[in-house]
Amino acid sequence: MKKLFAACAVIFASAALLSGCTDTEGQKTEYEIYTNMPAGSYELTLDNFKVAGTVAGETSVTDGGGAAENPAAYKSMGKTFYYIMTADATIVVSEDFTDEASAEARCEAFINSVKDKLGEINESLSIGVESSAVTLFNSATAGAVIEVDKVAYDVFTLAEQMYEFTDGYYNPAVYYSVEAYGFNTNGQIPATAADLPSDASIEKFRQLSSHFGDIEVYEEEGKFYVKKPAVTVEIDGVTYSMKIDLGGIGKGYAVDIINSMMDESGFKYGYFDFGSSSIVLKNHFKMGVYDLEFKNPRSDYFGQQFLRTKVKNECVSTSADDVKYYILDGVRYCHVIDPTTGKPVNKGIMSATVIGGTAAEGDALTTALMAMGKNNALKFIENKLTDRKVVFTYDNN
């Protein structure tokens, strides 16, 4: 059976070395797990990760079935596309190869269509493309109106919806904080704690990002527009207007588009993984379901997972504080920014995974959960995410 990692999605080859992790002093550290998945629908694989309590509104168990009638006739084809919105994307489809030439041609044609669609999305949303809608927004003056393409219109609209749904905990306008802490291409990782950005500058960046909800997105005479908030802040004589990065929710948007393309093309078996944080899993042609492995966010060993569950025909999104991080004077700084402080998240949640719903929504939700902290995250899951499976890990040390 193929197995995938949440937070790092690859084909899983070995279940060895699933012993507990240790901290820098060699003492085993215990971590908490919170989930609304029913007992029996998952398996714990590390003895120092404990379920601290179930969350109200438990979701259903994934059943078996869904395998091909003649799996021996099936083969898989796939391809990885590099540096799409600064990440890699992998498509794998499985098809009946009884008529090998026809099946191979069909798979190749579909994979090429995925390549074209990813190129279109990258041209619209990537901060690394000078003509992208996001780059044009970021370079525009405060209060300016920018004409954008349909992809950008859809993603801007979805981002605003998720900003409101999460009470602002999902906020793609924390661009300057990400940069100040060295986590994007323009930033520089601080060498010492003394090189960290000042609280005063971070507070001004936070104030600027708090106006994300003021962005206006609209359609007029068949064209699409985004109006930038007429808000600026000044730091050390430099005036800043809002900048955003839609890469996270954009990856999820791409996963949802490719998911629909797989359905429209009749591919029932396979998966699409974008950046290891956003995945759609169809059926597996042999086993029906996939085994999904959750990577330990406190282990440098890639093959160490703390939980396993079964997934099919669902999207999976994960955020974690071990993707990009550094430690200065014993303090961990990661790329996920808490929009309420403008600083890297530090409320104890190490990773958050959402299974179900759309991938774009899931990407926004997992980022928001990381910033909420345990108590707010539990309330949010119980009140708003009863239709999705959620797992998050917590460090109470």
pLDDT at 63: 81
Which residues belong to CATH 3.10.520 in the chain?
3-64+289-394
Strand partners, 288: 284
Tokens of 332: 């961990």
- Whether the per-residue pLDDT at 17 is higher than 50: the answer is no
Residue range 269-289: mean pLDDT, rounded? 96
As a whole number of angstroms, the distance between CA 160 and CA 280 comes to 23
pLDDT at 55: 84
Least confident of 20-29, 86-95, 152-161, 194-203: 20-29
- Whether the per-residue pLDDT at 337 is higher than 70: the answer is yes
Confidence of residue 58 (pLDDT cuts 50, 70, 90): low
* 294, burial (CB in 10 Å: exposed 0-12, middle 13-18, buried 19+): buried
Tokens of 94: 């499985």
The predicted-structure confidence for 245-270, as pLDDT tens digits, reads as follows 999 999 999 999 999 999 999 999 99
* Helices within the chain (DSSP H only): 100-125, 133-139, 150-165, 175-180, 199-209, 247-265, 359-372, 374-384
Report which of 109, 231, 243 is spatially closest to residue 174, judged by C-alpha positions.
Answer: 243
Tokens of 51: 């379920």
Tokens of 301: 């060993």
* 57, burial (CB in 10 Å: exposed 0-12, middle 13-18, buried 19+): middle
Strand partners, 89: 81, 274
Least confident of 58-67, 295-304, 332-341: 58-67
Report which of 286, 280, 339 is spatially closest to residue 312, judged by C-alpha positions.
Answer: 280
pLDDT at 248: 93
As a whole number of angstroms, the distance between CA 123 and CA 136 comes to 12
Cα-based torsion angle of the residue sequence 126, 10, 58, 323 in order, rounded to the nearest 10 degrees? -50
- Whether the per-residue pLDDT at 213 is higher than 90: the answer is yes
Could you tell me if 151 and 125 are in contact, meaning their C-beta atoms sit under 8 angstroms apart? yes
More confident residue, 325 or 62: 325
Check whether domain 3-64+289-394 has CATH 3.40.50, yes or no: no
As a whole number of angstroms, the distance between CA 6 and CA 317 comes to 7
CA angle at 294 for the pair 288 and 296, rounded to the nearest 5° = 160
- Whether the per-residue pLDDT at 301 is higher than 80: the answer is no
- Whether the per-residue pLDDT at 150 is higher than 50: the answer is yes
Do strands 87-96 and 145-148 pair parallel, antiparallel, or not at all (unpaired)?
A: unpaired
Mean pLDDT score across all residues of the chain: 91
CA angle at 254 for the pair 150 and 63, rounded to the nearest 5° = 135
- Whether the per-residue pLDDT at 382 is higher than 70: the answer is yes
Question: Across the chain, which distance is largest between two alpha carbons, in Å?
Answer: 69
Tokens of 150: 């349909």
- Whether the per-residue pLDDT at 314 is higher than 90: the answer is yes
Confidence of residue 346 (pLDDT cuts 50, 70, 90): very high
The predicted-structure confidence for 162-175, as pLDDT tens digits, reads as follows 999 999 999 999 99
Which CA distances in Å does 236 have to 165, 175, 201, 204, 318?
35, 18, 9, 11, 37
Give the CA radius of gyration of the chain.
21
Summary count for the chain: helices (H), strands (E): 8, 22
DSSP secondary structure letters along 133-173: HHHHHHHSPTT-EEEE-HHHHHHHHHHHHHHHHTTTSS-TT
More confident residue, 120 or 28: 120
Could you tell me if 302 and 21 are in contact, meaning their C-beta atoms sit under 8 angstroms apart? no
Q: Assign domain 133-241 one CATH number from 1.10.3980, 1.20.58, 1.10.1760, 3.30.2010.
A: 1.10.3980
Q: What is the pTM of this model?
A: 0.92
Least confident of 7-16, 81-90, 125-134: 7-16
Strand partners, 146: 226
Which residues belong to CATH 1.10.3980 in the chain?
133-241
Residue 99, Cβ neighbours under 10 Å: how many? 12
First to last CA, the chain: 36
Least confident of 115-119, 123-127, 296-300: 296-300
Q: Which amino acid type is present at position 265?
A: S
Confidence of residue 228 (pLDDT cuts 50, 70, 90): very high
Residue whose token pair is 């991938």: 359
